[in-house]
């Protein structure tokens, strides 16, 4: 009997995902009935985006698990009707590679001082060489799958990388710290700071007036993680004072970023429109099909959300 799998995401997701999902299920040897309008009592799995119209999971009485299309789960993790296993989108090589490329590109941009050469209307001969990568410490807040992948990519370019996480981690080539003292040490050394923490009540406003002041004067900030990690008013003040030289931001508390937000016109802010880590349908479909096949064959599912931790 085929598995019945509901695709529940708003917008144009179905048109982009239908063919890759069917191909991925066939590759995993799964016989499935896949669609967007299925009787709730017949559904075994839901492929899900939190912006879906599906918000009440109680009618899905046969449901085995929900597989998120996004890396972020903060909009669904507290749903009291979602009681079955809930998997994050992590094991997607396209999502991970996209994040690594965005982080590496903008790290190199700030490390090399590329902006001064790309935009130079006065034709100034700015003969100032940057330090080599070994002399530019990088800090990463968050050592999950994405933070670890980005940190390892930067170490291969010669950057000394310190990573901070809430729980103890060990990653070859990265100095791994945790706890309050570890956070302070990570910040105090980071000439370039990258935020890749999840959005939870504990991580909101991780960068605030106090922690921004711990960074070396003139540090750079990259935030491809979550908008609420930063106290926006505190960051704007730190940019105006020169404490922070530049902030490149991909995520925001409100998205799309309102047209009148101060970030748009601030000369030391770069806004990118939440593109650092987009889920790619072919690789995401393979990750979803692989996880469902694991569950059907008695293997543990990967990347299940810890509801107590919030991610």
To the query of whether residue 274 is one of the catalytic residues in this protein, the response is yes
Of the candidates 111, 136, 166, 226, the residue annotated as catalytic is 226
Asked if residues 8 and 48 have their Cβ atoms less than 8 Å apart, the reply is yes
| C-alpha R_g of the chain | 21
To the query of whether residue 110 is one of the catalytic residues in this protein, the response is no
- Residue 300 tokens read as 């543990």
- Residue 193 tokens read as 């700071």
Q: 38 — phi, psi (to 5°)? A: -120, 150
Of the candidates 16, 184, 261, 274, the residue annotated as catalytic is 274
Q: Which residues are registered as beta bridge partners of 207?
A: 230
Active centre residues (catalytic): 226, 274
């Amino acid at each position: 009997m085929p598995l019945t799998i509901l695709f529940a995401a708003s917008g144009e997701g179905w048109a982009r995902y239908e063919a890759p999902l069917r191909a991925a299920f066939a590759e995993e040897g799964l016989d499935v009935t896949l669609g967007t309008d299925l009787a709730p009592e017949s559904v075994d799995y839901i492929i899900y985006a939190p912006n879906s119209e599906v918000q009440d999971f109680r009618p899905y009485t046969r449901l085995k698990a929900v597989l998120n299309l996004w890396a972020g789960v903060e909009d669904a993790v507290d749903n009291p009707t979602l009681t079955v296993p809930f998997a994050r989108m992590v094991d997607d090589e396209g999502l991970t590679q996209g994040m690594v490329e965005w982080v590496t590109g903008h790290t190199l941009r700030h490390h090399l001082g590329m902006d001064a050469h790309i935009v130079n209307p006065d034709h100034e001969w700015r003969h100032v060489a940057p330090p080599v990568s070994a002399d530019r410490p990088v800090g990463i807040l968050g050592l999950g799958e994405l933070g670890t992948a980005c940190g390892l990519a930067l170490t291969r370019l010669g950057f000394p990388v310190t990573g901070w996480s809430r729980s103890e981690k060990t990653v070859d080539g990265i100095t791994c710290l945790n706890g309050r003292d570890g956070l302070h040490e990570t910040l105090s050394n980071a000439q370039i700071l990258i935020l890749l923490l999840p959005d939870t009540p504990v991580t909101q406003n991780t960068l605030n007036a106090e922690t921004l002041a711990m960074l070396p004067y003139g540090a750079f900030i990259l935030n491809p993680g979550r908008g609420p990690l930063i106290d926006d008013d505190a960051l704007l003040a730190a940019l105006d004072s020169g404490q922070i030289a530049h902030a490149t931001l991909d995520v925001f508390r409100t998205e799309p970023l309102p047209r009148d937000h101060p970030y748009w016109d601030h000369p030391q802010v770069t806004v990118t429109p939440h593109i650092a880590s987009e889920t790619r349908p072919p690789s995401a479909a393979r990750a979803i099909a692989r996880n469902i096949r694991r569950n059907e064959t008695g293997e543990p599912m990967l990347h299940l959300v810890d509801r107590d931790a919030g991610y």
